[in-house]
A = this chain, B = another copy of it.
């Protein structure tokens, strides 16, 4: 499965109003505690990969994200499975992976026109909107739909950022 995702820094108060007018459906609010791991084999911060255990409301999900496939969005292969958080952590550490950083955020989720919209408040970093589609083919078409949708919210394609929350958190901690 390919995750096609665009992220932009944006204040939420205005976006919430616009999403309501467009008929976006609220899908709930989640608190994420994301622990990222790096590999003993290659540095994920240079290979552009990510390995994460996300804890949400007592459930944990292990996710691997591969290299980004283009230069203007965050489109990339992604695999994920629900896990027992403590056991998955122990397995990763036993296999040589090590914790590289923690991201805490509140995510307000909406669905609209076949897309998932997330209003993310990232601890210490600020407010963002992420729009995501999942697809196997026609990646470019799906990506363009996302950019058109963002335009209708008053957000420009050029403002799309590819820096991860983890990179922002680590940059701030320097």
Contacting pair A90 B79 (CB below 8 A):
yes
Q: Which of A81-89, A120-128, A147-155 contacts the other chain? A: A81-89
Contacting pair B62 A96 (CB below 8 A):
no
How many chain A residues touch B (Cβ–Cβ < 8 Å)? Answer: 23
- Say how many copies of this protein the assembly contains: 2
Whether, in the assembled complex, A94 has its beta carbon less than 8 Å from a beta carbon of chain B, the answer is yes
Whether, in the assembled complex, A41 has its beta carbon less than 8 Å from a beta carbon of chain B, the answer is yes
Contacting pair A94 B66 (CB below 8 A):
yes
For A95, list chain B residues within 8 Å (CB). 39, 41, 51, 64, 97
Whether, in the assembled complex, A80 has its beta carbon less than 8 Å from a beta carbon of chain B, the answer is yes
For A40, list chain B residues within 8 Å (CB). 41
Contacting pair B94 A88 (CB below 8 A):
no
Sorted from nearest, which 4 A-B pairs have the closest CB atoms?
A81-B84, A81-B87, A79-B90, A64-B91
